[in-house]
Chains A and B, each alone.
Chain A
């Protein structure tokens, strides 16, 4: 990268630095590790984390620093060639705690730096148990990675290692192996400064220093698993994930947490069609690099072997619930095409009188699904089910629906959401409403009980699992979870974000936007979206808040839209 002196003076926030001989302009005040990143140079580090206060203790990021020289009265000292004289500092500096200054020279590949890196790695490894074969962190361990890249490669330790507590139960979700701990204090700082639950600390001194929970405390914060993410080694492990799968076998899929309206960006880690874990993905506009434990662990329903994989058509005009709800999950199972063929004419006939039909959509559905669902519901009453839990002051929003904003924007949800559910129940009770279409909700838990459902002439349900509602349905069309489809959500702050399929359920189940499209076709519409991008384009053309948006440009971190 070449220096561009013409613009050097115009933006005062930028400074010129040289990193391993590469001149680069970087924002003033960022630290040397971040500045080096700008230059494509990686400086290894353990304790430094961009979202935590500086600790400066691991000493892995030591570099050589040269600074522009000034006279005691702050006049620049110039070289004969007209450049300011640079003096290299006699001691190595830690990159994490060294802010860049104009003219600074950073050297990360000299013999002195290499010696220091070798030494720190050797120090970290002498008392480390070297139990990689049974360690969950193997494959994503900074001790392993740096040993290869920055280590001396051989051990010369002739003494007895320090022994420390193993299998320490720090809390309900996290286990600690103190022998693997490199004492970087990231977890301590996270709990103290980010999660605001100061529960971890070191006891003992020197090489016997031991990470522990304060007496009488447990690591049971709803953010405790973030400590596992930021632990650079295998000291902190996730009870849910440990011993289940080698990290290198897992496929990473970008996704969004759908447990609340925050929409934390996530990575889904899967192998085959099984999800093994969910971890937060960096997005400074949403969740930085954190997520709550409740959201993180909320993936097991996806792996449930009892999921719906076939369409279900209840025997003619007799709702399944009417003939006993323990009919077995395969009762009435048929192919998707068959179900669609039978449903099409019935739905079309039922919707001839729009006032006799009601639609309950899902604020957990994607925008694309909601967009088509709104079309299906056009002329009839529609609403969504609100759901909430206790919010906190960090990431958890009270609104547990991941796409309330989308459900409102696309006209499926009433204002306020759920305000029409009682009227729908009344309508069914008074036999004014004879047809109900439900997406991904068990309405029996939201005021429309099985007794009411039994009164319907036509109940159509799209869901990915059996519920009391699907059991009462005349037609069940199998959908999939957020982890099995493409689509977009809008979070509480109006950020449009994407999900990608991580796993595939197989069978007849399919993303609901395909089901809704097929139903619209059955109703005689001309909806012929062949893929999600075309559907998104159609939606963007019809919804002003999404005007000009293109699915492929939403990107990994989403885009802010105006939902007002």
Chain B
């Protein structure tokens, strides 16, 4: 394996002279996937996506073709497509690149996905803070509409689609798909409980709804163009395609790197593509999938047996960058945000920072998350300000233990996993604070 990128989605945007205008996209061969898609039957596209093995790039890694297959098409109600562009997980900044630098890639993906699912109205729910991104998308949609890539009777196919851009309400929880739907309906972004409110059945306006991430949608024209089977050859089985990894923290070249899933290791990503840990120091901890993912300890060996029965014994550098491998070592690939903390990092302070974020962003609906997230943040604030007392580490851990699995949405896990894993992996750092 070599530390090289495989640029499919980010191929255009970093070319010199490439702009986010339609002429750049067309000159680079854009909207070819849409033209091919409109010549296919919707169910054929859905079959190609199913065959591609494409997994959602938002965080959960749910199979995209399977998600589409769950849509209730017999209800007689309209089916909606929502692009989740509320990218808010700390450490993640890939969707922003696409929106700002290559918005037509997203629009083409949305039109393909909408056509494949009989969608007449699609929404882009864009993070409220991306004010500029919203303008870019609106301009891009107008350009696309002028060329009949969006709107009525698209490219003479008889298929029509409207895309609306909705600016988010400035809360992390608006990125949780049911919270997003509530917010889009004009309400407080309180996630809905499932059952029965699975978006595929009772989504936007209680109609069947598909919520896909920006990067996920950008893969659809590629799958249409090359065919699902060919797409599945990129990456590794069950982890197909490329993924835009966002690396931040103590590395020499932080940024986004599009890599083939499973064909590059964490070491190659960080030491190779990112130029190694800053200052030549050693990595101490890595959060592999956005701030809610459980932290990895870099001097740990990760041992176990893969699904195919072969044993593995990895250091952190050996862990393949894909959904399944990161899950095997007890964390998650999540949103693709890799945060590197070197040996100089004050881990309790880093955790306190993460905890403050989640305390600020808990929607406040479920008791354990609402009260627990702020409690943990306050305890960490106190502990990292020289006021830790005996037993505080266990106290903090026990708060975190009382949250996951007991809330409506996965925010309960998102706020408690960092605390649980930091204490589990770096207990001494916290015990040292106790007086």
A→B interface (CB under 8 Å)? 54, 56-60, 62, 91-92, 94, 97, 115-116, 119-120, 122-124, 126-127, 156-160, 162, 182-183, 201-202, 204-209
Asked if residues B363 and A124 are in contact (CB atoms below 8 Å), the reply is no
One digit per residue, 1 when the CB lies within 8 angstroms of any chain A CB and 0 when it does not, for chain B 167-184 equals 000010000000000000
| Cβ-based interface call for B368 (8 A) | yes
Most chain A C-beta atoms within 10 Å of own C-beta, residue among B359, B361, B379, B406 = B406
Measured CA separation A290–B392 after assembly (Å): 47
One digit per residue, 1 when the CB lies within 8 angstroms of any chain A CB and 0 when it does not, for chain B 359-383 equals 1111111111011111100110010
With beta carbons under 8 angstroms apart, the residue of B365, B367, B392, B408 that contacts A120 is B367
Given A91-B405, A116-B406, A156-B395, check contact A209 B370 (CB 8 Å). yes
Measured CA separation A120–B370 after assembly (Å): 11
Asked if residues B373 and A57 are in contact (CB atoms below 8 Å), the reply is no
Asked if residues B406 and A206 are in contact (CB atoms below 8 Å), the reply is no
Given A56-B193, A116-B406, A205-B171, check contact A126 B375 (CB 8 Å). yes
Asked if residues A119 and B402 are in contact (CB atoms below 8 Å), the reply is yes
Asked if residues A119 and B406 are in contact (CB atoms below 8 Å), the reply is yes
Q: Which residues of A contact B372 (CB under 8 A)?
A: 123
Asked if residues A207 and B362 are in contact (CB atoms below 8 Å), the reply is yes
Q: Which residues of B contact A205 (CB under 8 A)?
A: 171, 360-364
Top 6 A-B pairs ranked by shortest CB distance?
A209-B364, A119-B402, A123-B371, A206-B362, A207-B374, A159-B378
B403 to chain A, nearest CB (A): 8
Q: Which residues of A contact B406 (CB under 8 A)?
A: 59, 62, 92, 116, 119-120
Measured CA separation A115–B389 after assembly (Å): 25
Name the residue of chain A whose CB is nearest to the CB of B404.
A91
Asked if residues A123 and B402 are in contact (CB atoms below 8 Å), the reply is yes
Asked if residues B367 and A182 are in contact (CB atoms below 8 Å), the reply is yes
Given A158-B382, A158-B389, A159-B379, check contact A206 B367 (CB 8 Å). no
A46 to chain B, nearest CB (A): 8
Name the residue of chain B whose CB is nearest to the CB of A120.
B367
Q: Give me 14 A-to-B residue pairs in the complex whose CB atoms sit less than 8 angstroms apart, sorted by A's number.
A: A56-B408, A57-B366, A115-B402, A116-B406, A120-B367, A123-B370, A158-B379, A158-B382, A160-B378, A206-B360, A206-B363, A207-B371, A207-B374, A209-B370
Name the residue of chain B whose CB is nearest to the CB of A98.
B195
Measured CA separation A62–B374 after assembly (Å): 22
Given A59-B368, A124-B371, A201-B188, check contact A206 B407 (CB 8 Å). no
Measured CA separation A56–B364 after assembly (Å): 12
Asked if residues B402 and A122 are in contact (CB atoms below 8 Å), the reply is yes
A355 to chain B, nearest CB (A): 69
B374 to chain A, nearest CB (A): 4
With beta carbons under 8 angstroms apart, the residue of A60, A115, A158, A202 that contacts B364 is A202
Q: Which residues of A contact B188 (CB under 8 A)?
A: 201-202
Q: Which residues of B contact A59 (CB under 8 A)?
A: 366-368, 406-407
B394 to chain A, nearest CB (A): 10
Q: Which residues of B contact A97 (CB under 8 A)?
A: 193, 195
Asked if residues B364 and A208 are in contact (CB atoms below 8 Å), the reply is yes
A186 to chain B, nearest CB (A): 14
A198 to chain B, nearest CB (A): 11
Q: Which residues of B contact A124 (CB under 8 A)?
A: 367, 371
Q: Which residues of B contact A162 (CB under 8 A)?
A: 374
Given A97-B193, A158-B395, A207-B359, check contact A57 B389 (CB 8 Å). no
Name the residue of chain B whose CB is nearest to the CB of A58.
B367
Q: Which residues of B contact A123 (CB under 8 A)?
A: 367-368, 370-372, 375, 402
Measured CA separation A466–B292 after assembly (Å): 73
A59-B406, A92-B406, A206-B360 given; 7 more Cβ-contact pairs under 8 Å: A57-B365, A62-B406, A97-B195, A124-B371, A202-B364, A205-B363, A206-B374
Measured CA separation A159–B408 after assembly (Å): 26
Q: Which residues of B contact A201 (CB under 8 A)?
A: 188
Measured CA separation A202–B363 after assembly (Å): 10
Q: Which residues of B contact A56 (CB under 8 A)?
A: 193, 366, 408
Name the residue of chain B whose CB is nearest to the CB of A116.
B406
With beta carbons under 8 angstroms apart, the residue of B195, B364, B392 that contacts A206 is B364
Given A92-B405, A119-B402, A159-B382, check contact A207 B389 (CB 8 Å). no
Q: Which residues of B contact A204 (CB under 8 A)?
A: 364
Name the residue of chain A whose CB is nearest to the CB of B372.
A123
Measured CA separation A59–B409 after assembly (Å): 12
Name the residue of chain A whose CB is nearest to the CB of B190.
A57
Q: Which residues of B contact A122 (CB under 8 A)?
A: 402
A393 to chain B, nearest CB (A): 25
Q: Which residues of B contact A158 (CB under 8 A)?
A: 379, 382, 389, 392, 395
Q: Which residues of A contact B190 (CB under 8 A)?
A: 57
A313 to chain B, nearest CB (A): 67
Most chain B C-beta atoms within 10 Å of own C-beta, residue among A116, A119, A182 = A119
Measured CA separation A439–B311 after assembly (Å): 95
Q: Which residues of B contact A159 (CB under 8 A)?
A: 375, 378-379, 382
Q: Which residues of A contact B408 (CB under 8 A)?
A: 56-57
Q: Which residues of A contact B374 (CB under 8 A)?
A: 162, 206-208
Q: Which residues of B contact A120 (CB under 8 A)?
A: 367-368, 406
Measured CA separation A60–B405 after assembly (Å): 13
Measured CA separation A209–B361 after assembly (Å): 11
Q: Which residues of B contact A62 (CB under 8 A)?
A: 406
Q: Which residues of B contact A182 (CB under 8 A)?
A: 367
Measured CA separation A237–B359 after assembly (Å): 30
Name the residue of chain B whose CB is nearest to the CB of A128.
B371
A182 to chain B, nearest CB (A): 7
Q: Which residues of A contact B366 (CB under 8 A)?
A: 56-59
Measured CA separation A122–B403 after assembly (Å): 12
Name the residue of chain B whose CB is nearest to the CB of A125.
B371
Q: Which residues of A contact B367 (CB under 8 A)?
A: 57-60, 120, 123-124, 182-183
Given A123-B368, A158-B382, check contact A206 B405 (CB 8 Å). no
Asked if residues A206 and B359 are in contact (CB atoms below 8 Å), the reply is yes
Most chain B C-beta atoms within 10 Å of own C-beta, residue among A91, A124, A206 = A206
Name the residue of chain A whose CB is nearest to the CB of B407.
A59
Measured CA separation A209–B363 after assembly (Å): 8
Name the residue of chain A whose CB is nearest to the CB of B173.
A205
Q: Which residues of A contact B407 (CB under 8 A)?
A: 59
Measured CA separation A208–B371 after assembly (Å): 9
Asked if residues A127 and B371 are in contact (CB atoms below 8 Å), the reply is yes
Most chain A C-beta atoms within 10 Å of own C-beta, residue among B171, B359, B363, B375 = B375
Given A62-B406, A97-B193, A158-B382, check contact A119 B368 (CB 8 Å). yes
Measured CA separation A127–B362 after assembly (Å): 16
Asked if residues A206 and B375 are in contact (CB atoms below 8 Å), the reply is no
